[in-house]
Amino acid sequence: MPIIFRILHAFIMALTLTASTLAQGFDMKERYTKNEVMIPMRDGVKLFTSIYTPKDLSTPRPILMMRSPYSARPYGEDQFPRFLGLQGRYYAERGYILVTQDVRGRFMSEGTFMDVRPVKTKRTSPKDIDETTDTYDTVDWLVKNVAGNNGRVGIHGISYPGFYAWMGTINAHPAMKATSPQAPVSQWMSGDDFSHNGAFLVSHAFQFYANFGWPRPEPLKEYPRRFQLPHPDGYRFFLDQGALANLNTRFLKDSVEFWNLITQHGTWDDFWAERSVLPHLKALTPAVLVVGGWFDAENLYGALHSYKAADANTTNNQIRLVMGPWSHGAWQAPGLDSLGDIKFGSATTEWFTNSVIGPYFDHELNGGPEPKLAEATVFMTGANEWRQLDAWPPRVEKRLLYFGDRRTLSWSKPPRTKTAYDEYVNDPQAPVPYSEEIRPWYNPAYMLGDQRFASRRPDVLTYQTDVLEEDVTIAGPITVRLTASTSGTDCDWIVKVIDVFPDTTTTPRNTAARGVRLEGYQMMVRGDVLRGKFRNSMSKPEAFKPNVPTEITYDLQDVFHRFKKGHRIMVQVQSSWFPKIDRNPGVFMDIFKAKDDDFQKTTQRVYRNGAGVSGVELGVYRGE
């Protein structure tokens, strides 16, 4: 799928280029007029804004805007996007006034850029700006100055622009009637983009900021690409660099401000707290449709948790959720019916555009019929079905799948006998890869990829059920409950829940997305990491006592998945997932300050009776 900016890879803007639309005969330049303006903010800074107005203004038109740090290209009033993505074409065909804006300090806008600029809760002067005021001031200017608008405005955006969509929802202008934060950045350090439960996503963070993070001394139309891996093997590249600090010494050289800030704030503190969107999602006045993908490697956390926060703290009953079987931003791709080796049974993206997001904005902004969306429109993976639910997560029965003897997995608690455990050695010099592919940048399909490569490794514990005699459907978060120990003073705990396909499957080979054989396929349903020192607090890390059994509990992100009769449920446990997650030295310390000789092998034990039990708690869904 074509991407506007190489540095973003998986990010797809609302006007993303897709090859199919030109062939379909839609010419935006033929139907639209473009104006480029510098809109003044309350502190005098002016923001570059492109306004695409339909030539036919026989009826008043709604305004749909997107604010982005990734450029409002193409620049020039005679320059139009050559192609439109699914959503972009939908809105353009219906004559929306489409607006894109460079946020403060990026590309052609004035001012100083700040990553995830905090929301100001108190203002004493016009200089007290944030992204909510910049959006408010932009909307105010648009409704007063753009000819033919109907006084109703919406904002949307995917990923970082999803963050700006939330900013347009908080303290919203009265004309802001509907918003759609899609895969939004919401709370870094906890679960979005660069940190999961205190573990650093080194490959993603470094490759993003090695390009995005350099200072912009003056407005520009093209942002130079500063860094590319010297070879296609990302695993080898990051392993060769050794300790995290070497990346700055060798490549960034203290010039990338936010990378420096990340490494200076290795625990949850006021710096991270004030950058969280979640506490501000309350008493919202616009309608909101949050969109996310079950296989989003970047902002699954943001979609689920921002929806939850907004829904819990807004009484207008206009906060809704859509979760599809998609990777990051993939709901913009035409004809998408699969990810990696797994097919979903239908073109999910067209259905979403034409039956959900398009009618939502039509109704809220343009007087269209009520689409009667459910509280949660969610895709059940495994069954390949859309479900309309009254709440997310739905009502479930919490059940614990226990680790047992001979690497079994059972709903029955193991008998309390003498202490029994399984163990493995984690070697930071040979960490478990998160994928068996050799790639410079991640393949989004790893989120449901075949895990057989990992189950063959001695440093991965693998437990599985007997063949299921009936379907098992799970919904909501998965809770990891381990009794475990390490020979060191810190370690990471990675747990994956996996759907194991039958060894002899009745599924025809050509139903796999790439024609692969699915017999014995180990499809990852959900996996995530906890940096062990943060097991009790993200702000107050604690060392492990070597070889002492310790209770460890944390949540994997939500799922909605059916394990079919004849399949098995598998759980894998490991202590490295590289280079998705940086290496843990096995020593209680600030890993951003670790040196190459700090990394040591550690032995991990997972206890399954006697000293304690281990397993995963699933929400078993039996329907409404």
Is 15:61 a contact under the CB 8 Å cutoff? no
Write the single-letter amino acid at 92. Answer: A
Q: How do 32-40 and 46-54 pair as beta strands?
A: antiparallel
Distance of alpha carbon 430 from alpha carbon 418, whole angstroms: 33
Res 19 pLDDT > 60? no
Question: Alpha-carbon distance 11 to 210, whole Å?
Answer: 17
Alpha-carbon dihedral 259, 262, 266, 267, rounded to 10 degrees? -170
Rounded Cα distance, 34 and 358, in Å: 23
Rounded CA-CA distance 323/319 in Å is 14
Distance CA(106)–CA(117), nearest Å, equals 13
Please give the average per-residue pLDDT across 366-370, as a whole number: 96
DSSP state of 174: T
pLDDT recorded at residue 8: 41
Instruction: Cite the residue boundaries of each domain of the chain with CATH code 2.60.120.260.
Output: 397-620
Q: Is the pLDDT of residue 23 over 50?
A: no
pLDDT in tens, 467-511: 999 999 999 999 999 999 999 999 999 999 999 999 975 555 446
Tell me the CATH number for domain 397-620.
2.60.120.260
Alpha carbons 483 and 551: distance in angstroms, whole number: 5
Using the predicted structure, report yes or no on whether residue 570 has a pLDDT greater than 70: yes
pLDDT, mean of residues 587-598: 98
Segment 183-189 shows an average pLDDT of 94
**How do strand 61-68 and strand 97-102 relate by DSSP bridges?**
parallel
CA 339, 86, 8, 83 torsion-angle sign: positive
List pLDDT tens digits, range 117-139. Answer: 999 988 888 889 999 999 999 99
Mean pLDDT of 85-91: 92
How many Å separate Cα 584 from the centre of its chain? 23
Q: Alpha-carbon distance 26 to 78, whole Å?
A: 17
Full-model pTM: 0.95
From the list 109, 108, 150, 98, the residue with the least C-alpha distance to 131 is 109
Pull the structure tokens for residue 387: 């479900």
Q: Tell me the two tokens of residue 476.
A: 């909501």
Residues 311-334 pLDDT 10s: 999 988 799 999 999 999 999 999
- Nearest-10 Cα torsion for 118, 120, 124, 126: 60
Mean pLDDT of the chain: 93
Average pLDDT over residues 281-295: 97
Q: Cα(204)–Cα(195) distance, rounded to whole angstroms?
A: 10
Task: Please report which confidence band the pLDDT of residue 401 belongs to, taking 50, 70 and 90 as the band edges.
Answer: very high
pLDDT attached to residue 417: 78
- Token pair 């934060």 is found at 181
Q: What does the pLDDT read at residue 126?
A: 80
Percent of the chain with pLDDT over 70: 95
pLDDT digits (tens, 9 = 90+) for 437-450: 999 999 999 999 99
For residues 565-582, give the mean pLDDT: 98
Task: Give the mean model confidence (pLDDT) for residues 517-535.
Answer: 97
252-265 pLDDT per residue, tens: 999 999 999 999 99
Type and span of the H or E element at 423: strand 420-426
Question: CATH says 20-187+275-389 is which class?
Answer: alpha beta
Residue 574: C-alpha distances to residues 485, 530, 577 (Å): 13, 11, 8
Q: Is residue 1's pLDDT more than 80?
A: no
| Nearest partner of 533 among 552, 515, 556, 547, judged by Cα | 552
Q: What is the pLDDT of residue 85?
A: 84
Q: Where in the chain is the domain with CATH 3.40.50.1820?
A: 20-187+275-389
Which DSSP helix (H) or strand (E) runs through 247?
A: helix 245-247
- Tell me, what's the pLDDT at 25? 61
Distances in whole angstroms, Cα of residue 597 to Cα of each of 242, 248, 293: 9, 18, 40
Among 173-177, 203-207, 219-223, 288-292, the range scoring the smallest mean pLDDT is 219-223
**Which of 524, 476, 99, 118 is CA-nearest to residue 307?**
476
Angle (nearest 5°) at CA 70 between 68 and 73: 95
Give pLDDT tens digits for 406-419.
999 999 998 887 88
Structure tokens at 287: 């309608």
The alpha carbons of the chain give a radius of gyration, in whole angstroms, of 25
